[in-house]
Amino acid sequence: MDDYEFFVVSQSYSYEVDVTAWGWIHLILGIVVALAGFYLFTGRTWARVVGITLAILAAVANFFFIPYYPFWSLLIIALAVWVIWSLTRPQEA
């Protein structure tokens, strides 16, 4: 095991986390979110779809964290629902 990996132990199981891979995943997702946000201002439909998809994924992922971080998880789920609601509203010219 090198310096960029460690084990996380929870109540039922343990799993290996590669910090470098975790960082790349967050960097790529951040770039996708930034591009979708930029193209939302230009009125692109695909940017709405990307935004809705990422908000759904964020809400579902935070359901798994409710037992560990209840307040923060519910806050992020509520924010994701608000993002989905706002992205599904009709566009005004």
What secondary structure does DSSP assign to the chain, as a single string?
Answer: --TTEEEEE-SS-EEEEEHHHHHHHHHHHHHHHHHHHHHHTTT-HHHHHHHHHHHHHHHHHHHTTTTTSHHHHHHHHHHHHHHHHHHTSPPP-
pLDDT of residue 18: 73
Assess whether pLDDT exceeds 60 at residue 26.
yes
pLDDT of residue 8: 60
Residue 14's pLDDT band, with cuts at 50, 70 and 90, is: low
Assess whether pLDDT exceeds 90 at residue 90.
no
Residues in contact with 27: Cβ distance below 8 Å, sequence separation at least 6, in sequence order: none
Q: Can you tell me the distance from the alpha carbon of 7 to that of 62, in angstroms, rounded to the nearest whole number?
A: 21
